[in-house]
Amino acid sequence: MMKKWWMESVGYQIYPKSFYDSNRDGIGDLKGIIKKLPYLSKLGINLIWIGPVYDSPMDDNGYDVRDFYKIDKTFGDINDMKVLIEKAHVLDIKIILDYVLNHTSDEHPWFIESRSSKNNKYRDYYIWQEGKLINDKMVEPTNWGSFFGGSCWQYDDISHSYYMKIFSNKMPDLNWKNPNVRASMVEVGKWWLNLGIDGFRIDAVSHLERASFEDIENSQEKYPLDWHKFSNLPKVHDYVKELNQKVFSPNNCLAIGEVGGEPTIESALSYAGFDANELSMVFFFDHNWCNNIFEIEDPKDLKIDVIKLKQVFLKWQVGFSDKGWLPLNWLNHDQPRLMSHYGKLKYFKASGKMLATLMYMMRGTPFVYQGEEIGMTNYPFSKVEDFNDISSIHYYQYLVNEKKEDQSKALIKASMKSRDNARTPMQWNDHKFSGFSEVDPWLNVNPNYKEINVASQINDNDSIWTHYQNLFALRKSSKYRETIIYGTWELIDFENDKIIAYLRNDQNYSLLIINNLTEEILNYELRSYLIETVVLSNNEVQVMNENVLSLKPYGSIVLEVKENL
C-alpha cells in the first residue's frame, strides 16, 4: 500500500482566537500558539491545523478573508508565522492552514472592484445575477436559502444586481468558472507553501459549483436550504484536479478538504481515493449527528443511537479500506463539544477516555480538536447575547421570528448546536480566565474551568489527557504502531446496540477494541478470540478470564488477541 507521511501523523486543530492569548488583548494569537508548541508535542501531536489567521473583518471569525497574503493584526504578523513554522518544524510538528476557496470578504479588493461597475475586470470574479420581477417587485434570482439563514443572494445597491453568498452577506462567493479566479487562488496556495507550511485544510471545497438557477419547488420556507444546489457537483472535481496538479502534487503537501452536503462513499472517493488525483483526505460529518438532537427540546433527552453510529463507521472505514485514507475526528470548530454530545458528565473520565479509544484506534489520521483532550463541554448559554457566532444568532432569530417559538425554548435549541460551544477559550488552568488570557476574553470562558483544565490533568496518570497521550504513544512508538496505522479494520457484533467492537489486524498482531456506550454493566464474551495482553484500558473493564470481560459504564479496552482455534 502507498504510504505517506500524513498517514502516520497525529493531528490537532487549533482555533486561533481561543487557544492562547500572548499579549493581553483577550484574543488568541500566533505567539500564543508558539508558546504552546511544547505542550502539543508532549501530548504526541505532530501535525496542527490552524484556522484562518488572514486579514479579515471577522464577520465569520476569519473565514471572511480580506487579504490572503496578510496575517490579521489581532493574530500577529508574517514574521510570527515564520517563527511558528520554524519552531514547529524543530519539534517535528507539521503545519496546515485553512485554504478558503469558496468566498472572500466583501471587503476584499476583488469584491470592491467587482461591485463597483458591471464592466470592470473583477466583475466575473463573483457570481452576479439580475433580480426577478414578480408583480412589479424585484426579488432574488432564486429562492435558495443559505447555510447561515435567509437568502443565498444579496442585493447590491452599487451595481443594482444580486451576488451569491451561501454563507454570510459579507462573504460573496467566488466564481470558479472564471479561469482568473482559479489562477489567483493557485497563486495564493503556492505562496503559502513557499513560506514553509506543509499543506491545507480546504474550506467548503465541495461548494465550488452551482446548479442552474431555478427555484426550489414546493417548499414551506421562503428561502429553503437545499445544499444539493451547491454541493459536490461535477465541475468541482475539475477545479480540485487543477489545484492538485498546480499546487498540491508538486509540493507533496497534505490537502484535506471539508466535504459537506452528505457525500456518498463514491463521491468522497472521487475526491480522496488513492487514484483520484485531487485531495489526500476529506472531512465528513455523518457521525456528528447520530442522535436525536434535532428532535429534542432539552439536552437531558439526548440519546446516542449506537447502531446508527456503527453504520457510519462501517460505511466510511469499509468504503475507504483499500481505496483511500480517512481523517479520524469527533468534532471541529463548527460542532458542539464531544463530551456534551456523546459523553456523559456523570461518567466524565470513563466516557471521555472511551470516546477517544473508539475514534483513534480506527484506521486513519487522528485530528483532536483543542480542549477535547481534557473533556471540555458545551457552554451554559443563558441569553442570546452570550452567542458570538453569526449562525447561532441567525438560527435563534429564525426560531423566534419565523417559527414563533418561545424565546427560552429557542435559546435551548440554539445552544445545543451552537458553534460557540467549541469556541470558548481553552481551559489551561484554574486561574482567572482559565489561564487563556489575563484579561476578559472575546468569548466567555466556560464556568467549569476550575474543574476541567489542562494543569489538573497533565500530571495525573488517570486523566483523560493522559489517556490521549497513551493512545497516541501506542500509535507512534509501540510495537503495535504498524497495525494501528496500516492494519485492516473490521467491525464485529454489529447487532449489539450497546457496545462498539472492532478488530485491527496485520500479519503481526490482532487488536480488539471494545467500547461500552452505555451506563450499564455489561458482560462481553469473546467467542472467536482469546486475550493475549491488555494493551490499554480506561480502568473500567475487568478481565474475568481469557475470553470474558466485564465492562463497567463506558468501559473501554484495547486487547491483543489471538484466534480461538
User: Using CB under 6 A as the criterion, which residues of the chain lie in contact with ligand GLC when the complex forms?
Assistant: 60, 63, 167, 203-204, 258, 333-334
| Partner from ligand GLC, Ca ion, none binding residue 482, C-beta < 5-8 Å depending on class | none
Closer CB to ligand GLC, 170 or 333, in the complex: 333
Q: What residue 21 binds from Ca ion, ligand GLC, none (CB within 5 to 8 A, per partner kind)?
A: Ca ion
What is the closest distance, in whole angstroms, from the C-beta atom of residue 333 to ligand GLC in the complex?
6
Give yes or no for a contact between 456 and 430, defined as CB atoms under 8 angstroms apart.
Answer: yes
Rounded CA-CA distance 34/36 in Å is 5
Nearer to ligand GLC, 107 or 438 (CB): 107
- Residue 37's φ and ψ, nearest 5 degrees, are -60, -45
On the 0-12 / 13-18 / 19+ scale of CB atoms within 10 A, 188 is middle
| Residue 540 interaction partner, one of Ca ion, ligand GLC, none, beta carbon < 5-8 Å per kind | none
The kind and range of the H/E element at 409 are helix 407-417
- From the number of C-beta atoms within 10 Å of its C-beta (0-12, 13-18, 19+), residue 533 rates as exposed
DSSP at 400: I
Nearest approach, Cβ of 439 to Ca ion (angstroms)? Answer: 9
| First-residue to last-residue Cα distance in the chain | 30
- Closest approach of ligand GLC to the CB of residue 83, in Å: 26
Nearest CB to Ca ion, comparing residues 312 and 439: 439
**Residue 393 binds to Ca ion (criterion: CB under 5 A):** no
Beta carbon nearer to Ca ion, 442 or 554: 442
- 64 lies in the site for Ca ion, by CB under 5 A: no
At its nearest, how many Å lie between ligand GLC and the CB of residue 168?
A: 8
CA distances from 559 to 352, 363, 415, 562 (A): 19, 16, 38, 10
CB of residue 73 to Ca ion, shortest distance in Å: 10
Q: Which residue is nearest to ligand GLC (CB)?
A: 63
Per this entry, what is the length of the chain? 565
Task: Count each helix (H run) and each strand (E run) in the chain, helices first.
Answer: 15, 23
3-state secondary structure of 290: coil
Output 89 or 432, the one with its CB closest to Ca ion.
432
In the list ligand GLC, Ca ion, none, the entry touching 27 (Cβ below 5 to 8 angstroms by class) is: Ca ion
| Residues 13-42, interacting with Ca ion (CB under 5 A) | 21, 23, 25, 27, 29
Ramachandran region, residue 62 (left: φ > 0; alpha: ψ -120 to 50; beta: rest) = left
Sign of CA dihedral 213, 219, 223, 224: negative
State the minimum distance, in angstroms, from the CB of residue 260 to ligand GLC: 7
Q: Rounded to whole angstroms, what are the CA distances from 467 to 109, 378, 460, 510, 558?
A: 48, 21, 10, 21, 12
Closer to ligand GLC at the Cβ: 22 or 61?
A: 61
C-alpha angle with apex 196: 190 to 198, nearest 5 degrees? Answer: 80
Q: How many residues bind Ca ion (CB under 5 A)?
A: 5
Torsion of CA 142, 146, 151, 157, to 10 degrees: -100
Nearer to ligand GLC, 396 or 465 (CB): 396
Of 28 and 324, which CB lies nearer to Ca ion in the complex structure? 28
Q: How far is the CB of 208 from ligand GLC (least distance, A)?
A: 12
With CB under 5 to 8 Å by kind, the binding choice for 204 among ligand GLC, Ca ion, none is ligand GLC
Cβ pair 227, 172 in contact under 8 A: no
Q: What angle do CA 336, 328, 280 make, to 5 degrees?
A: 120
Q: Going by DSSP bridges, is the β-strand pair 94-100/47-50 parallel, antiparallel, or unpaired?
A: parallel
CB 9 within 8 A of CB 365: yes
Nearer Cβ to ligand GLC (229/475): 229
From the list Ca ion, ligand GLC, none, which binds 334 (C-beta under 5 to 8 Å, kind-based)? ligand GLC
Distances (CA, A) of 370 to 221, 256, 543, 563: 37, 18, 33, 39
Whole-angstrom distance, CA of residue 278 vs CA of residue 238: 9
Q: Tell me if 156 contacts Ca ion by CB under 5 A.
A: no
CB of 139 to Ca ion, least distance (A): 44
Which residue is nearest to Ca ion, using beta carbons?
A: 29
The β-bridge partners of 134 are: 137
Residues belonging to the active site:
203, 258
Residue among 544, 493, 551, 558 at smallest CA distance from 519: 551
CB of 57 to Ca ion, least distance (A): 17
Residue 167 partner contact from Ca ion, ligand GLC, none using kind-dependent CB cut-offs of 5 to 8 Å: ligand GLC
Footprint on this chain of Ca ion (rule: CB under 5 A):
21, 23, 25, 27, 29
